[in-house]
Structure 1
Amino acid sequence: MLARHQDPIAAIATAPGRGAVGIVRVSGRGLAPFVQGLLGRSLQPRQAHYLPFPDAAGRSIDQGLALFFPAPHSYTGEDVLELQAHGGPVVLQLLLARCLEAAQAVLPRLRLAEPGEFTERAFLNDKLDLAQAEAIADLIDASTEAAARSAGRSLSGAFSQEIHGLRDALVHLRMLVEATLDFPEEEIDFLRKADARGQLSNLQQTLAAVMQRASQGALLREGIKVVIAGQPNAGKSSLLNALAGAELAIVTPIAGTTRDKVQQTIQIEGVPLHIIDTAGLRESADEVERIGIARAWDEITQADAVLFLHDLTRLDAPEYIAADALIASTLVQKLSESVPVIDVWNKTDAAARPAPAATAGRAAVQLSARTGQGLDALRRELLRVAGWQSAAEGVYIARARHIEALRAVDAHLMEAAAQLESTGPALDLLAEELRLAQNALNAITGEFTSDDLLGVIFSSFCIGK
C-alpha cells in the first residue's frame, strides 16, 4: 500500500450544483477525536444524529444529519464520517473547509480526496474486488436501463463469482500438474486418474460461457459506433432522424446540405448505438464540402459498422450507379474485413422497382426513412451485427480489459490442451500455461494487478466516490 493511502481524506460526495441534500465524506483511521472536535460531541455508530454543524467560532454553518461508521464496517473499511447538509455548493464548500480546519489539531494529515479514492480504499481494504469497484463507476455512467441492471449485477458480485469459480477449477488442475512434477518417481499417473483432460475441457466450456456473457455486458457498456455513408440526397440525414425519433439533421433536396457529422446515441433493447450522419460522398469543388467529405471518411474508417445508403429512385441513372460502385470499392480498401457493411436501400415508398440482389457477404435492408417502413428490420440487423443475442438476466457489465483478460485465459488454456494432447507432454510447459491463465483471471478481480492499472481505473471516477 502506498504512503498516500495512509492519509485521511475528505471530499464532497454529491454531484456539483444545487440539490436538496449534499454530503461531505471523511475517511481515515482513528476519526473519533476528529468527530469530537468537529461536532463537539461523539456519535453513536451507524446512527443518524440531527445537529448543527458549527464553524470555528461555534456559529452554525448548517443543520443536518451526521453519521459515523467505525472501521471495518464502512464503505472504505476505515472510519467514515458523513455530514448530510442542504445541497447548496457554498454550504458544502464551507463544511469541507471546516473539516480541513478542524483536523489541524487532531488529524493533521487530512487532505482532499483524489478521484475515486474512497472506492480505491474499499478495494484495498477488501470491501470489494476490482471488478465490483469498476461496476460502481459503470452503474453511475449507465446510459440505459439494461446497462444499469447489468452493472448492478456486477456490483453484487455476479461477475466476480464466475471468475472465482474459474480460478478455483484452474487451481485444482494446477495442483494435479504440480504434483506430477514434484513426484516423478511415483508410478501413479496423477493426470490420467484425475481426468485432467476432462477437467480442462470443462474449464474451457465454462470459460466460453463467461466470455459470451461478458461480451454482451461490454456491449451494453460501450455500444457500437455506426456510420451512415452514401451519396448526397440518398436520405442519410432522414435516416438518422428516423432512428433517433427527432429532427436532428437538416434535410433539404439540395445536394451537400450536410457538411459535417451529426451524432446521436440511441438504444435498441438497451444496447447503445452511436449513430453518425456524414457528408455525402462525391467529388466536389467546394472547399468546405471537401473537408466534410474527408471527415466522413475518417469516421467511416473508425466505425464498428457502416450503413451504406442507396437511393432506390436513382437506380436507372448511370452516373449514380458508377458513383455507388466507386464508394463500394473504396469501402473495401479502407475498412477492415471485420467491420460489417449493411446495404440500406432507401425510398421504397417512391421507388419504381425493388432493390437489386444482395451483395455476397453483406446484409441488406429495404426501408423508407420518410414513412418508417423497414426501420424495425434495420434495428434487428444492427443488433445482429453488434453481436447482441438477448437481454438475458444473466448478463453482467464488463469492460474491454475484462474481455482482453478472458481472451488471454482462453489462449493459455488452448496451449495447455495442446500440451496435454501431445505425445509425452512437457509438464513444465503445461504448468506454466496454467499459471499464466490464473494470473490473467486474477487481474480481473485485482488479486494480481499493477499499481499503474489501479491508477488508470480509479482516476476515471468522480471525486467523492
Structure 2
Amino acid sequence: MTYDSTPITAIATAPGRGGIGVVRISGKDLSAIVSALFGETQLKPRHATYLPFTQQDGSVIDQGLAIFFKSPHSYTGEDVLELQGHGGPVVMQMLLARCLEAGKEAGLRLAQPGEFTQRAFLNDKLDLAQAEAVADLIEASTEAAAKSASQSLSGAFSKVINALVEKVVHLRMLVEATLDFPEEEIDFLEKSDARGQLSGIQSALRKVFEQAAQGALLRSGLNVVLAGQPNVGKSSLLNALAGDDVAIVTPIAGTTRDKVTETIHIEGIPLNIIDTAGIRHDYDEPEYGEQADVIDAVERIGIERTWAEVEKADVILHLLDASRGPTRADEAIVARFPDGVPVIRIWNKIDVSGHHASVDEMEDATHIYLSAQEHVGIELLRAELLRIAGWQQTGESLYLARERHLIALKQASEHLEFAAAYAAQNDQSLDLFAEELRLTQDRLNSITGEFTSDDLLGVIFSRFCIGK
C-alpha cells in the first residue's frame, strides 16, 4: 500500500454536542504547524498544556488542552497533536478550520476514513487484526463484544495466529531441508515426527477457529425472522423477546403490514428479530377464486417483503396456532422455506390450547410450545436460539473475528488437510506437502496483514469512521 506522508487532521470525536471535543493532527514533522498554532509556546511531549486556541488574528476560539506525541511514541507512529476543547459542533469546526489554515504550507489536509489507524498499521504500531479491532471496539453493541474487541486490540488474537505460523514455519523448515538434501536417505516423516507436528497444528487451528467463530457471533449476531399466517402471535412473540411493546398487537388479522426489526441480546449475542406481515395463501392458489379480492395491494406487498426477509434469514421462527393445529396454509408456507436454513416451529397460544411449555426434537424441526402473551416458555426459545447459534460458555477468551478471518482460518485448515493427505504417502510427495504448508502460512499471515493485498487494505480502512 502506498504511504502518503502528508500531514492529516480531523475531528476525532463523534458528531454532536459533548463536554469535550478533540481535533487530531498526524504527520512526519509537525513543528511548523505547532509553531503556527501556538507561537513560541513549547509543548512538552506527552504532557497536557492548558492554553488558548486562537485565530490567526489572535482572537480566541476556545480554551483547552494541547497534547503533543513525538514520533514514534504515538498512535500513528508519526508526530501527533491533539487539541481538546469544548465539544460544541461550531467550536470543533472553527478549530479544525484553524488547524487547516495553520498547516496550509505544510500540506495539511483532511483525513480520510480510517487513515489514522491505517498509518498506525503501516508504521507497525498495530497489525491488521489489531487495527480492525479498533473499529470493532468503537462499534461494539454489548459488553461481551467490547471485551472481545479489547482482547484482539491488545494483540491476543494476533499472538495466537503468530504462534500457529511459527509452528507451520518450523515444520516447513524441516521439509525444505529434506528436499534440499535428497541424497540423505532419511525417513523424514518418521524421524522428525512430521505427522505428529501436523496433527498438533490442526488441533490448535480447530480451537482457534471455534473461539473466532464464537466471537464472530458477538460481532454480527443472527437474523431471526418470524414467519407464519396472520394472527398467530408473531408481534406478541417479538414483544415478549424484546421485553417491550415494540410491535402493535391486535386481534385483527393483517395488522403488521411491513417488517418490524428489534435487536435483542441473549448472553451477549445480538439477535436481529424481524417481525413480518402474516402470510396468506388465498390469492396465489387458484381454487380460492374470487376470495383473492380480500387481499389488498398493501398486504400483497407486505407478504412479498416477508418472503424476501425469509430468504435472507439465519434462523426462521415459524409460528403456528397451537389452539387450532396445523393447516394446509401452514404446510404451504413450510414448502417455500429455503433449504439449509434452521427452522424452529413455534406453537403459540398454549394458554388457550392447554399444552404445557416444552421443547420437542423432531425430524422436520425443533418444536417449541409457548405462550407469547403470557410469557410462558420464552426461555426455552432463547435457549434454542443459543444452541442454533452454536454458542457455548467456554470460559475462554473470545476474539471478535470478522468474516475474512473465518474464511482465512477455514482455508488454512483445508490446506492442512491436503498436507496430511500427502504426508500419508510417506516421503514420495514431500514437495506437495511443503507447498500446502506454504499456502497455510500465507492464509494465516493474511489475518495479521503480513501478506495482504492493497485492495483489501483499502476496503478495510475505508469502513472506519473519520478521525480514527
Q: Which band: TM-score by shorter chain?
A: over 0.9
Q: Which residue of 2 aligns with 1:293?
A: 303
Partner secondary structure for residue 27 of structure 1: strand
Q: Which residue of 1 aligns with 2:228?
A: 230
Select which of 177, 185, 188 maps to 1:187: 185
**Residues 223 and 356 (structure 1), Cα distance of their counterparts in 2 relative to 1, 3 Å cut:** closer
Q: Distance in 2 between matches of 1:439 and 1:229?
A: 44
Q: Which residue of 2 aligns with 1:168?
A: 166
Contact kept? 2:322, 2:348, Cα under 8 Å: yes
**Residues 65 and 440 (structure 1), Cα distance of their counterparts in 2 relative to 1, 3 Å cut:** same
After superposition, residues 365-376 of structure 1 pair within 5 angstroms as 365-376=368-379
The answer to whether structure 1 residue 384 and structure 2 residue 387 are counterparts is yes
Q: Which residue of 1 aligns with 2:155?
A: 157
Contact kept? 2:360, 2:368, Cα under 8 Å: no
Tell me the amino acid that sits aligned with residue 388 of structure 1: W
Offset of residue 392 of structure 1 = 2.8
**Residues 442 and 353 (structure 1), Cα distance of their counterparts in 2 relative to 1, 3 Å cut:** closer
Partner secondary structure for residue 467 of structure 2: coil
Q: Which residue of 1 aligns with 2:287?
A: none
Contact kept? 1:180, 1:191, Cα under 8 Å: no
Q: Distance in 1 between matches of 2:162 and 2:390?
A: 26
Q: Which residue of 1 aligns with 2:33?
A: 34
Tell me the amino acid that sits aligned with residue 134 of structure 2: I
Select which of 138, 141, 144 maps to 1:140: 138
Offset of residue 393 of structure 1 = 4.3
Segments of 5+ residues of structure 1 without an aligned counterpart are none
Offset of residue 292 of structure 1 = 0.8
Q: Tell me how large the CA RMSD over aligned residues is.
A: 1.5
Q: Which residue of 1 aligns with 2:45?
A: 45
Tell me the amino acid that sits aligned with residue 327 of structure 1: I
Contact kept? 1:176, 1:191, Cα under 8 Å: no
Q: Which residue of 2 aligns with 1:203?
A: 201
Q: Which residue of 2 aligns with 1:428?
A: 431
Tell me the amino acid that sits aligned with residue 430 of structure 1: F
After superposition, residues 13-412 of structure 1 pair within 5 angstroms as 13-40=12-39, 41-105=41-105, 107=106, 109-283=107-281, 284=283, 285-315=295-325, 321-331=327-337, 335-337=338-340, 339-352=341-354, 359-390=362-393, 392-412=395-415
1:135-187 CA-to-partner distances (Å, cap 9, x unmatched) read 11111111111111111111111111110010000000110111111110112
Tell me the amino acid that sits aligned with residue 168 of structure 2: L
Offset of residue 362 of structure 1 = 1.3
Partner secondary structure for residue 313 of structure 1: coil
Q: Which residue of 2 aligns with 1:11?
A: 10
Offset of residue 191 of structure 1 = 3.4
Offset of residue 56 of structure 1 = 0.6
Question: Which 4+ runs in 1 deviate beyond 6 A?
Answer: 354-357
Contact kept? 1:32, 1:42, Cα under 8 Å: no
State the aligned residue count. 454
Offset of residue 345 of structure 1 = 0.8
Offset of residue 89 of structure 1 = 1.1
TM-score by length of 1: 0.95
Q: Distance in 2 between matches of 1:415 and 1:358?
A: 37
Contact kept? 2:151, 2:399, Cα under 8 Å: yes
Q: Distance in 1 between matches of 2:361 and 2:193?
A: 50
Offset of residue 194 of structure 1 = 1.4
Tell me the amino acid that sits aligned with residue 185 of structure 1: E
Contact kept? 1:179, 1:190, Cα under 8 Å: no
Q: Distance in 1 between matches of 2:135 and 2:369?
A: 40
Partner secondary structure for residue 426 of structure 1: helix
Tell me the amino acid that sits aligned with residue 13 of structure 1: A
Offset of residue 266 of structure 1 = 0.3
Tell me the amino acid that sits aligned with residue 466 of structure 2: I
Offset of residue 207 of structure 1 = 0.2
Partner secondary structure for residue 84 of structure 1: strand
Offset of residue 253 of structure 1 = 1.1
Q: Distance in 2 between matches of 1:240 and 1:425?
A: 61
Partner secondary structure for residue 50 of structure 1: strand
Tell me the amino acid that sits aligned with residue 451 of structure 1: D
Instruction: State which drifts further: 135-144 or 180-189.
Output: 180-189
**Residues 314 and 78 (structure 1), Cα distance of their counterparts in 2 relative to 1, 3 Å cut:** same
Partner secondary structure for residue 350 of structure 2: coil
**Residues 120 and 190 (structure 1), Cα distance of their counterparts in 2 relative to 1, 3 Å cut:** same
TM-score by length of 2: 0.94
Q: Distance in 1 between matches of 2:53 and 2:361?
A: 71
**Residues 358 and 441 (structure 1), Cα distance of their counterparts in 2 relative to 1, 3 Å cut:** closer
**Residues 356 and 189 (structure 1), Cα distance of their counterparts in 2 relative to 1, 3 Å cut:** closer
Instruction: State which drifts further: 176-185 or 29-38.
Output: 29-38
